[in-house]
Structure 1
Amino acid sequence: MQKKYKTVGESRVTISELMLPSHSNFNGKIHGGYVLSLLDQIAFACASKHSGAYCVTASVDTVDFLKPIEIGELVTMKASVNYTGHSSMVIGIRVEAENIQTGAKKHCNSSYFTMVAKDAKGKSVDIPGLILKNDNDIRRFVKSIERRKVKLSKNEEFHETDFTKEEYLHILEDQKVQIQTGS
């Protein structure tokens, strides 16, 4: 029988991986696409651990690349469930890179993935709620609610069918843009 509620700690996942030259871009830094792939994997692991079900990525709400990751650094990703709905959950992920020669660590990335639990037929399934044990758990849950409100308001704000160029031209006045119409 599945629990009705779980603590944040029960679903926390941490992975570490050494960054190899094969993971780098043309600038010699670790490719952002590779980091995104790792983020998706740990989000899946954390969400599946919490829900006890197969989970899919519904959205990548935020990915902030703060500092580049170098070849040879040990990257550690820490994921936890920040928010739970009926079948969805927000997974917060922190990425740190460590220079294994000096021991210096840097915060490289923060990300929020929305994951949805599914059954074998692809239908959404109920997931356990969260037990919030400290101020940090409460802060992360509330911040997830706030980010969700902003996301919903953005989705409502700008529909293609509602758009009239004249209504929005003033927004472009101070931008580095040229408008060319016709052929």
Structure 2
Amino acid sequence: MEAKRAQESYTEMNELVLPNDTNTFGNLMGGRLLYWMDICSAMAAQKHCKNVVVTASVDNVSFKRSIRLGEVVTIQAQVTRAFNTSVEVRMEIFAQNLPLGIKEKSNEAYYTFVAIDENSRPIPVPQVQPETELECKLHNEALQRRQMRLILAGKLKPENAVELKSLVELFDHKG
């Protein structure tokens, strides 16, 4: 299976925050944002895999700033790395106040998807060919994020997490 350029999976989605999307403080509800993020990242994963995918994990969703009623949410998603049957998708989320012309990053997250066949069985996915410096960095770090996900899911013993061990050793040498 031929590798695909990371940029080929790039997907962007925009949503206007309406009253039904907000809590009593006029802020976008976190669950609504997670829903939009799942849709956008699934589109990026399907674009890369050229196949149906299902969400396998949601991790490291960090909320840096509230998103207010009337702002436009822009979600940018791109596959960072492919494994055997799964892909990791990184998202950056921005909130924009159109009248003021202010656009700020509000969130960042990683989702993992598994490509499946018509019988809901995992199938192989194309590898990712990173090109830019950032794509290469995210691609290389994806192994550490994957090992952390597998440890937390009880699918990998910490002593077998080679990539994480090398990261810990790096910090031990700096300390």
The one of 110, 113, 120 equivalent to 1:112 is: 110
Counterpart CA distance in 2 for 1:53 and 1:138 is 24
Asked if residue 100 in structure 1 is aligned to residue 106 in structure 2, the reply is no
Which residue number in structure 1 is paired with residue 130 of structure 2?
132
Which residue number in structure 2 is paired with residue 170 of structure 1?
none
Counterpart CA distance in 1 for 2:59 and 2:142 is 10
Counterpart CA distance in 1 for 2:27 and 2:109 is 19
Asked if residue 50 in structure 1 is aligned to residue 59 in structure 2, the reply is no
The secondary structure found in structure 2 opposite 1:4 is coil
Deviation at 1:132, TM superposition (A): 1.2
Counterpart CA distance in 1 for 2:59 and 2:148 is 11
Deviation at 1:43, TM superposition (A): 1.2
Which amino acid is the alignment partner of residue 21 of structure 1? P
Deviation at 1:57, TM superposition (A): 0.3
Counterpart CA distance in 2 for 1:31 and 1:4 is 40
Q: After superposition, what is the alpha-carbon deviation per residue over 1:146-171, rounded to whole angstroms, capped at 9, x for unaligned?
A: 112233344346xxxxxxxxxxxxxx
Q: After superposition, what is the alpha-carbon deviation per residue over 1:4-30, rounded to whole angstroms, capped at 9, x for unaligned?
A: 111111111001111111100122100
Which residue number in structure 1 is paired with residue 166 of structure 2?
none
Larger radius of gyration: 1
Counterpart CA distance in 2 for 1:78 and 1:131 is 19
Q: Would you say how many aligned residue pairs link Structure 1 and Structure 2?
A: 155
Which amino acid is the alignment partner of residue 99 of structure 2? Q
Which residue number in structure 2 is paired with residue 73 of structure 1?
71
Which amino acid is the alignment partner of residue 60 of structure 1? V
Which residue number in structure 2 is paired with residue 15 of structure 1?
13
Which amino acid is the alignment partner of residue 70 of structure 1? R
Counterpart CA distance in 1 for 2:76 and 2:108 is 10
The secondary structure found in structure 1 opposite 2:74 is strand
Counterpart CA distance in 1 for 2:151 and 2:55 is 21
Which residue number in structure 2 is paired with residue 86 of structure 1?
84
Structure 2: gaps of 5 or more residues: 159-175
Structure 1: gaps of 5 or more residues: 158-183
Which residue number in structure 1 is paired with residue 60 of structure 2?
62
Counterpart CA distance in 1 for 2:118 and 2:150 is 29
Which residue number in structure 2 is paired with residue 25 of structure 1?
23
Q: Percent identity among equivalent residues? A: 30
Q: Runs of 4 or more off by more than 4 Å in structure 1? A: none
Kindly report the root-mean-square deviation, in angstroms, between the aligned alpha carbons of the 2 structures: 1.3
Deviation at 1:44, TM superposition (A): 0.9
Q: After superposition, what is the alpha-carbon deviation per residue over 1:121-174, rounded to whole angstroms, capped at 9, x for unaligned?
A: 1111111111111211110111211112233344346xxxxxxxxxxxxxxxxx
